[in-house]
Structure 1
Amino acid sequence: MQRRFLFSALFSASVVCLGLPHAMAQGATPLRVLTHGSFDLSKDLLAAFEKDAGVKLEIIKAGDAGEMVNKLILTRANPIADVVFGIDNTLAPRAGAADILEPYTGPAAERKAVAELPKGLVPVDYGYVNLNIDKAWFAKKGLALPKSLADLSQPAYAKLLVVQNPATSSPGQAFMLATIAGLGEEGAFDWWKHMRGNGVKVVKGWSEAYYTEFSRNGGAYPIVVSYTSSPAAEVFYSKEKISESPTANLFLKGGVFRQIEGVALVKGGNPAAKEAAGRFIEFLRSAPAQEGLQTTMWVFPAEAGASRVEVIKQHAAEPSTFDELKAPLTEAQSKAWLQRWTKTVLK
């Protein structure tokens, strides 16, 4: 899930038009849905929604979630979508300040969710960015697992951690924010300074970190910034039938951040599609969608009381605690921290 801002690709977002029977498609209302590149629900689910709502979905994938928000801001005079999915709790302040969302007041917005977002965004899912470890590597080396972020800055753990650049990656930004929330700003950047000296590896995005640099996949780093659900995905996608994940989560203070994703109406969207956009919001909070997203986007359902699929229940434990910022993240604060991180770790 490499999510980075690509300004040159601003007007080249991929558009996926789902197939409806020709006669229905001809008379169906087009509904433009802007998402980040990691949006993934089964074609059967989306096709069933199209048939039920009498619409033709145009899924516009815009790369990273930050890039997606920037596209909405830059095109607000002539919106490119009617509904947007994927604005999370780190990006909600930017979207609110830019006034690009229109309040939705349907049933899904009124029901309490497991994880809440600022008004205007209806929560759809949530998950946790944290550290994953390669269990076989640690067993082979006979090295104890770190019990704190401070441990990771010690010589015994030199050159073991790979992270994503927070300026180019959503999980990278979330992990940086976790360190600030858990250690305090000065403590966090002092830790990052020590990690630079201890050989932390920085890459652009999640895919490169997990599939290239992580020792589980042939790389040299047995600790990677990933997701709580990653061990479950390892079991789900394994070619052999395994009952235990080869990776595990490390829930360390300053190393766990909760991301909450939501859906919203786009301000100035096509009035003729507004009813369909509302139905799409309700659909994302419906039982079939809340179940389906667990093994396609590897997140937890936001709908209170939604059932968990078995692989999630068995292999994606939620942390008992996580690190939250004391105040809502503003765009100015985000930029300041990114600049400080870059200066501390890369320059």
Structure 2
Amino acid sequence: MRTSRTAALAAITISTLALAACSSADADPQPSASAAASTSPSAAASAATADLGTEVTVVTHDSFAVPDDVIDAFEAETGLAVTFVAPGDGGTLVNQLILTKDQPLGDVVFGVDNTFASRAIDEGVFADYESTAPAAADAAQYAVADSSALTAIDFSDVCLNVDTTWFEANDVAAPTSLDDLLEPEYQGLLSVTNPATSSPGLAFLLATIAAEGDGWQDYWTALNENDLRVTSSWSDTYYTDFSAPNYGGDYPIVLSYASSPPYEVGEDGTTPTAALLDTCFRQVEYAGVLEGAANPAGAQAVVDWMLSDEFQASIPENMYVYPVSSSVAVPEAWTEFAPLAEQPWDVAPAEISANRDEWIQQWTDIVTP
């Protein structure tokens, strides 16, 4: 999934990360209401026989957000001091993990998604770990095939969002499909993120490849000719470019998530934005222990913690994505304002792995030559 929606961590610049690296050795997916609730064992209990050490470093994207009290409780329970390191958006995160794999930036990572996961796994970034937390059974439905390196933590649909108030004020019908965006009435209205640097950007590229098939390059050529705007990160597109009342940018169509509209609900109980569910690609975010971690036991405890009821329950209202745990309820407003796509666009993981770099290069040649 996003600059953090709450100030749960301070972003650290890549130059600082480089210095840190030198000094250290982006089934049914809907949570099931009928699943039996269970209380997750504590991270400390799940690693009771391990020496967790005194500190652990979590590497994540710059949209990671979790309440301070959830972090404080984990630290008190385990005796670990947790440091968060955020090199950038999801795509930047994976690039940095690969570049620093011989001197890892930390012990455990959160935020590698299914569009970039195979790349990081193929590069040997992660150590195998299989959590025994109860929510691990829910996470298993999103497991990366033939790998024990990553554990699913959350999911959502990457979709275009529209500022419905802008379309009403300008007496223009909002688009509903990918092909609508090529029409002249939407010229200069769309902002998306670069798939080379942003995991939502790559997810959207994959949605267009799934939808347009062999014609996807022609589609992007036409989209670009319709005055497409491209930014380097989700936060630039959403927080800076979006014309929605909370932001005041110039673009009433932006790339975000199906679960973004509830974040914009006002005092009147309505939201000025909506997700276009025919444009969605399902994104899953994972956690994984870094190969060569200074504290692998502490890293495993963090993965278990991220599957705990406390952490999972904090996900919807802080990162605005769905928790993988079927024991955790999402806010009631999500039924109305954050429905998941019934048929999101999909590209097989093996096909993504085989073609990702070439597709990104082809996109770059078309859109940002």
Contact 2:90/2:198, CA 8 A, preserved across alignment: no
Q: Deviations over 1:13-57 (max 9, x none)?
A: 79xxxxxxxxxxxx9611121111111111110110011112111
Residue type matched to 1:209 in 2?
T
The percentage of aligned residue pairs carrying the same residue is 38
Shift of 1:114: 7.6
Q: Deviations over 1:152-174 (max 9, x none)?
A: 21222222212122223222221
Shift of 1:318: 1.0
Matches within 5 A, 1:1-347: 1=2, 10-11=17-18, 29-108=54-133, 110-113=136-139, 116-118=142-144, 119=147, 120-184=149-213, 186-216=214-244, 217-235=247-265, 238=266, 241-252=267-278, 255-270=279-294, 273-330=295-352, 333-347=355-369
Over 3 Å counting, the alpha-carbon distance change for 1:115 and 1:162 in structure 2 is farther
**Unaligned 5+ residue runs, structure 1?**
15-26
* Larger strand fraction of residues: 1
Contact 1:114/1:302, CA 8 A, preserved across alignment: no
State the number of aligned residues.
324
Shift of 1:202: 2.0
Residue type matched to 1:290 in 2?
Q
Instruction: For 2:89 and 2:143, locate their aligned partners in 1 and report how far apart those are by CA, in whole Å.
Output: 19
Alpha carbon RMSD of aligned pairs, Å? 2.5
TM-score normalized by the length of structure 2: 0.80
TM-score normalized by the length of structure 1: 0.85
Over 3 Å counting, the alpha-carbon distance change for 1:201 and 1:106 in structure 2 is closer
Task: Report the counterpart of residue 22 of structure 1 in structure 2.
Answer: none
Q: Deviations over 1:271-308 (max 9, x none)?
A: xx333322211111111111101111111001134211
Contact 1:89/1:117, CA 8 A, preserved across alignment: no
Over 3 Å counting, the alpha-carbon distance change for 1:171 and 1:202 in structure 2 is same
Instruction: For 2:196 and 2:98, locate their aligned partners in 1 and report how far apart those are by CA, in whole Å.
Output: 19
Instruction: For 2:111 and 2:226, locate their aligned partners in 1 and report how far apart those are by CA, in whole Å.
Output: 35
Q: Deviations over 1:175-211 (max 9, x none)?
A: 1111012221x22211111112222222222222223
Instruction: For 1:266 and 1:321, locate their aligned partners in 2 and report how far apart those are by CA, in whole Å.
Output: 34
Over 3 Å counting, the alpha-carbon distance change for 1:245 and 1:114 in structure 2 is farther
**Unaligned 5+ residue runs, structure 2?**
5-12, 22-51
